[in-house]
Every structure is written in structure tokens, then in C-alpha cells.
Structure 1
Amino acid sequence: MAGLYHNIFTDKQIENLFSAETQVSYMLAFERALANAEGTLGVIPADAAEVIAAVCRESKWNTEALAEQTLLAGNPAIPLVKMLTQRVAQRDTEAAKYVHFGATSQDVLDTALMLQLQAATTYITHKNNELQNQLAKLASAHRDTVMIGRTLLQQARPITFGYKVAGWLEALLRAGQGLEFAQQNTFALQLGGAVGTLATLGEHGPAVVTHVVEALGLAAPLLPWHSQRDRLVDFAAKLGILCGNLGKMAQDLTLLMQTEVGEVAEAAAPGKGGSSAMPHKRNPVSATFIVAIARRTPALVGTLLAGLAHHEQERAAGAWHAEWEVLPELVRLTAAALGHANDLISGLEVNAERMLRNLELTQGLIYAEDVTALLTPKLGKAEAHQLVEEASHRAQREGLHLRECLAQHFDIYKYLNNNTLEHVFDAHRATGLSQFFTDQVLARFHTSTSTT
């Protein structure tokens, strides 16, 4: 029975995709494609191939028995092939001799995993595209919404909220490119036999591989990859990066939701974000879940990366097995994070008025850099920096607005009149190229959607 936290860290569709029943169906898809290829090429009798393929289409395989027998066999392919052979023998004892001909357990399991990951990537890509679409709308809507930019958690200088959102969006666009690369290159057939040489199939081996690849819709590797696992590590890293990007977005929003900041909030709903002790609380929920997931995924990626060097010789003892639960868990977490992220952004409440008020918290200190830039041609950067620094310190010490201190500083004010100061302290002017960069990201997003 699943625990109380289970639904936070999973996705129902991905759970179904990595269920025992689905895994068995993909394993049988491999056996069916293998038999059909061998029958077509005359490696095994054509009528035997037909019987094997027909039995592979049957349903109601005893997954509980398979799981139990895996503890003794060492992997689930061995008991499944045994079950398959028994069923084929019930129809044709001669055909049963050719079940799983020329293949090995890892061929079955790795190929089934590739098919699962391929389907999972299609789903994750769809969820990522949904999120990109929402972020593009948000960035466009707030292209000119001015807020404070923060460095090292301190107020720095004005940006736009659209610019901040565009940063999240661009990261997801790159992640989407990584997923697209995986769909085209990563998910490759595994078929090598005992030590990867296809010795049993001999000269028919390449043709069998070609037929099976075409039947399953997987990429054709140059050679079997039983102990070369970089494909899987690369894919895991792509998911880890995607989750990290989602975590960065969620962490940013969580900080903007703080009471003292109050610039955004998650959508309100009955029972959402409350406190068992404090009735006034409105806690982040979806954002918190995403941050939690982003903290878990690096260790999963690390497990695969650490194992990369330990797939000894032609088949590994332990390193291969360590992948079995890690990859499905990483996929589940990624899909869950995307689900939470779509919920978060779809209902995000943006308080533009609070953003403007927060710009005034430092009483103009956020414009100190602009004042220095204006004085530099007159005084040189070092002297300009020193004078503005003196004025800034006085403003902080005496609780004055920086503009007031500048107007009272003779060595500064003689170069900056009231009109100039009014221009310098205009927040909408001080956002730099926020809108330009936002527009560039939105243009890239619209280009990517028009070509998919």
C-alpha cells in the first residue's frame, strides 16, 4: 500500500507505464519482434515464429509469480522466458525450441526499458510543452511589469517580472531540446546475445537487428551496449537538469511569496496551504513539492553516473541491477514536478502593485549604479563611485531618500539637475534590456512551437 506522501512524488500515467504489467508487455513485444525477424529471415522456422508471436500477444501473465521468481533467477527475464516457452509448448512443442533464440536476459530487459523511456519521454515532453506555453503567456503579460532584481538575496536594481519568467522559460526550452535529442538518438535496441557478439545468429545477426529495430521503432546501435551505459546516464542527466530548472523556478517563487515580499502567491483553494496551528497562514504548496523533488533527483542521477565505470567487462554484476529502480523513480519524479509546475503557474497570482512598493524599500539606493554611470564621464569612475557611496551611506544612516542626499551634495548636484535626477530614479527606465531579452526568448519559443 502506498504511503501518505506517495501522490506528491509520482504521476499516475508514469506509474502505469512502469507497472509490472506494462513492463511484461514490452518484454513480450521484444520477443515477438525477435521471433518475427528470425522467422522472416529463415533463422528459425516461419511457422514456429508465428506461434511464438501469437503467444506473445496473449494477456494475463502472472506478474506476482514473476516477481517472486526474480528473487531466485536474478532478473525477471529468465522466469518470463520460461513462462513463454511453456505456453508456446502447449500449442507447438517444436516451436517452443526457438523461444528467445539468440538473445540474452539483458537484451529483453534493456529493450523493454528503452520502450518505456521512449513512451515516458513523449509524455514528459508534452507536460514540458504545456508549462512552456503557460510561461510564455506569463512573460508576455508581464513584459513591462517592473520589480526589483535581487542578487545574493539583496535588492540590486530593477528588472521586469517578464524577464524573470523568460529566464525560467529559456531553461525549459533547452531541456526540451535535450528530450528531443533523446527521442531521436538515445532509445536504442539492445540485442547482442551472451557477450554481445550475436554469435548464435552469426551472419544473420545484422539483418535480425534491422528487422527488430523497425518493428519496435527504436534506434539501431552500432553494436550492443550491455556494459556501455552512457546513453542511460545522459538521459538521466537530462531529467536531472530539467528537475533542477523546475526547482530553481519554484525556489524563486517561494521567496517571492514570503510575507515580507508578497509579490506572488499560489492560487487559493479550499484546504490548500493552510496551517494546523496558525489560521492566517497561506503556505506555498506546489512550489514546495517541486523544490523537494529537485533536491531528490541529483542523488538518483549520481547513482547512474557513479555506476558508469563499474559495468565491468561484457556484463556487469550489480551496476546493471542498480539501474532498475533508479530510472523509473527519476522519470516519476520528473513527471510529478512538471505536474506541480503546471498547477503552480496556471494559477499564479502576481501582485504588480506590491512589486512597485518594494522598489521603494531602499529609498532610492537601487539607482546608485545609474547615478555613478552618469557622473563617470565628468569625474572618472573612482571619484564618482566614492561620492555616490558617501551619499548612499548618509541616506542609510539618516533614513533619507538617496535622491535627497544627492541634491544636497554639492559635488554631485552641480552635474545632475532635477530633471536628470527624475529620469535616473524612474524605475521603468532602469530595467536595462529586460524587455529585449524577454522578447528574444518569446521569439525562440514561438519558433520552436511552429516547427513541432
Structure 2
Amino acid sequence: MTRGALFDPLFGGDRVAARLDDTAWVAALVAVEVALARAAAAHGVIPAAHAEAIAAVELDLDPAALGRAAVEGGNPVIPLVRALRAAVGPEVAPSVHPGATSQDVLDTAAMLLTGWAGEILLDDLRGAADAAAGLAAAHRDTPTTARTLGQQALPTTFGLVAAGWCAGLDRARTGLASVLRGLPVQLGGPAGTLDGLPLPVAADLAAGLGLADPGVPWHTERTRVGELAGALGVAAGACAKPATDVVLLAGTELGEVSEAAPGDSSSMPHKRNPIAAVTARAAARRAPGLVAVLLAAMDGEHQRAAGAWHSEWETLADLLRATGGAAARLRVSLEGLAVHPDRMVAGPPDVGRAPELVDRILGGRPPS
């Protein structure tokens, strides 16, 4: 996936990306090491003074240098631990990274980052759903034509169309929020046996980081990552649906809606493109392939995956960025969407129970 200052704002990923960049990764890795030291000290694994010395150290880590140093061992935790030990000095150095393996730190850091990015993602999903709900309420009785298989079908209301968008976004947001609340800490030691660590250390590590305690290590039991991938993929799909409808309804032949800040054309000045919806669709289109990579990585060998685990790191960050971008751009589209009833069906057609269904959907919305 293309990332950076040129394309992230265009596809709505800039706010999420700020919590997923290399600096954020390093900060999350260090946060895990500090929390691990404190949890270990609480159970006498290392001296409490050593834990505080580790927490107090100020590392000036260059992500590029850390990345180059990670090549030999296959992950950035190895050179990070080396740098931490050098920074705290020989007396405290043996207390750095107590009882853990690189995967413990990297998996836990990935969950931290997911939580940080997830806050923004949930906010934009809520914003998009609220905008859809506002459209549904305002146009509860506005008649329009339902279309099935691309053809005009029966009368409905634009309010029911927008309420359908809202229902999908709310459902996706609720499902994703549930997964995010359960983001787990990882602590299993070199072979997933917690060798040398009291069992409560994992719970204290989780509490220190605001993550869930899964009760057991999950080094090669990746259903948690699969559930997260699925929830993110569903959220992206929930964003793609209204974005697609907006693109179609804004077409010249229909002109039933228009965006507040339509995009210009470099060669056709008469065009007013629904560019927020277009870019929401573009971001959402990336999600299914990224979900597939994470699901394919669930077949980790024995007690440490050889390549499958490594494939998750950037893929998860890219999926968060894609889904976050879809939600952000859809929010912009729906919050500024203008509806043109005069371009919809003329006269007072029988819209059936559409207004009643709007009330039912809006009345059953989940809380923030």
C-alpha cells in the first residue's frame, strides 16, 4: 500500500497513519518493555529499582537505524533490547526484557498501536453514522425510487436509504469496538510456556498497558488477529456501501445528491465529482486483500511461525490505515451531502412503510 504525505490525506488515512508511523511503533515497543519490567518487579522477578531505572531511561532511537539493525535477527525488538541494555548500564541490563521473547513485545506493541489507531477509526465511523442518521431523519418522508439490479423498482424514501447506511455503519462500529476492547497482551516467553515468570505477571502487564489478559499465550494461535482483521474488513465494507450509492446518485443522469465540496476535473471544468465518496471507495477496496493476508497467516508452525507472523506487522497497519481512510472520507461525504428532492420522483407515491422503518432503525441505534 502506498503510504506517506502525498497519498494519506487523499485517501483519508492521515489521522490514523499518525498513530501507526515508525515513531509510534518504536514508542509502543518501548512502552511494552517498560510495562514488562514493572510487572516483573511487582512479583520479585527483577528489583523494583531496576524497573524504575528502565522506565526513566531516555532513548533517542532512529527508526531507520533500528530497522537496519533488525535485519540480522528478523525483528526490531532484538536491537531495541540491546539499545535499552546499553542505556541502563551493566547493573540494570540483565533486568531488561525479563522472561520475554521478541514476539511477546512485538505482538503487544501491535495491539497497543491498534488501540491507538482504533480510537480515531471509531470516531469517524460514528461521525459517518451520525451524518447518515441526520439525513434519514430529515428525509424520512422524502419520496424517491428504490432501484434493484440497476433498474427502477418501487417507491421508497430517501430517509430509508440513508437509514440503511446508518444501520450498517452502526453495526460495523459496534462489532469493531467489541474487538478493540478485547485487544490482548502477549506474554509467553521463548516457547510459550511462561518459563521463569509467575502467571500473574501477564495480568499485571495487561493492566499496565490497558490491554486485555488473554489468560494464555497465543504465539501461533492467531484467532484474535483473525477476528480483528474480520472486524476491520466489515467496517471497510460498511463504508463502501454508502460511498457507492453516493457516487451513483450524484451522477449527471440522476443528480439526486451532491457533495458539499465536489472535486474539480483537470480537463473538464463543468464536472463536479463526488470525490470524498470516490476516495472512500478506493480506501475500502484495499481492505479485503489485506484481510486475506492476515487470515492466511493463521497457520503458524508449531510454537513460532516462520514468516507468517512476520507478514502480519505491516499488513495490520495497512488495514487500519485503509479502513480508517474509508471511514474518514465517508464522514466528509455524508456530513456535507446535499439532497435534491426535485430530482427524485415527482408526486406523492405510496412509499409503503418506509417512514416507519426509518423510525425503527433510528430508534434502535447503539449508544456512543
Task: Report the TM-score range of the alignment, normalised by the length of the smaller protein.
Answer: over 0.9
> 1:192–1:224: 8 Å Cα contact kept in structure 2?
yes
* Alpha-carbon distance in structure 2 between the residues aligned to 1:294 and 1:61: 34
CA deviation map 1:321-352 (0-9, x unaligned) = 11111111111111111111111112111110
> 1:9–1:332: 8 Å Cα contact kept in structure 2?
no
* Alpha-carbon distance in structure 2 between the residues aligned to 1:3 and 1:21: 15
* Alpha-carbon distance in structure 2 between the residues aligned to 1:251 and 1:182: 26
Calculate the TM-score normalised by the size of structure 1: 0.78
Q: Between Structure 1 and Structure 2, whose CA radius of gyration is higher?
A: 1
Calculate the TM-score normalised by the size of structure 2: 0.95
In structure 1, what is the equivalent of residue 18 of structure 2?
16
In structure 1, what is the equivalent of residue 229 of structure 2?
236
Give percent identity, aligned residues only. 43
In structure 1, what is the equivalent of residue 293 of structure 2?
303
Bigger helix share: 1
- The answer to whether residue 129 in structure 2 is matched with residue 132 in structure 1 is yes
Q: 1:279 aligns with which of 269, 280, 293?
A: 269
Q: CA deviation at 1:16?
A: 2.0
Q: CA deviation at 1:59?
A: 4.3
What's the secondary structure of 1:170's corresponding residue? helix
> 1:160–1:431: 8 Å Cα contact kept in structure 2?
yes
Q: How does 1:384-423 map to 2 (within 5 A)?
A: none
In structure 1, what is the equivalent of residue 214 of structure 2?
221
Residues 94/438 of structure 1: CA separation in 2 closer, same or farther (3 Å cut)? same
Given residue 273 of structure 1, which amino acid in structure 2 is its aligned partner? Answer: G
In structure 2, what is the equivalent of residue 61 of structure 1?
61
Q: CA deviation at 1:222?
A: 2.2
* Alpha-carbon distance in structure 2 between the residues aligned to 1:213 and 1:273: 46
Further displaced range: 288-297 or 99-108: 288-297
Q: How does 1:347-386 map to 2 (within 5 A)?
A: 347-357=336-346
* Alpha-carbon distance in structure 2 between the residues aligned to 1:246 and 1:85: 46
What's the secondary structure of 1:150's corresponding residue? strand
Q: CA deviation at 1:285?
A: 0.7
* Alpha-carbon distance in structure 1 between the residues aligned to 2:43 and 2:253: 72
What's the secondary structure of 2:23's corresponding residue? helix
Given residue 184 of structure 2, which amino acid in structure 1 is its aligned partner? Answer: A
In structure 2, what is the equivalent of residue 332 of structure 1?
321
Q: CA deviation at 1:277?
A: 2.8
Unaligned runs of 5+ in 1: 360-425
> 1:311–1:320: 8 Å Cα contact kept in structure 2?
yes
* Alpha-carbon distance in structure 2 between the residues aligned to 1:180 and 1:79: 34
Unaligned runs of 5+ in 2: none
Given residue 242 of structure 1, which amino acid in structure 2 is its aligned partner? Answer: A
CA deviation map 1:142-181 (0-9, x unaligned) = 0000000000000001000000000010011111211221
> 1:304–1:323: 8 Å Cα contact kept in structure 2?
yes
Residues 5/215 of structure 1: CA separation in 2 closer, same or farther (3 Å cut)? closer
Further displaced range: 139-148 or 216-225: 216-225
RMSD across aligned C-alpha pairs, in angstroms? 1.6
* Alpha-carbon distance in structure 2 between the residues aligned to 1:117 and 1:233: 14
Q: CA deviation at 1:4?
A: 4.3
Relative contact order (C-alpha < 8 Å, sep 6+): which is higher? 2
CA deviation map 1:261-310 (0-9, x unaligned) = 11111124xxx4222332322222111111112221110001111222x2
Q: 2:7 aligns with which of 5, 8, 11?
A: 5
Q: CA deviation at 1:219?
A: 0.6
What's the secondary structure of 2:53's corresponding residue? helix
Residues 221/3 of structure 1: CA separation in 2 closer, same or farther (3 Å cut)? closer
In structure 2, what is the equivalent of residue 195 of structure 1?
191
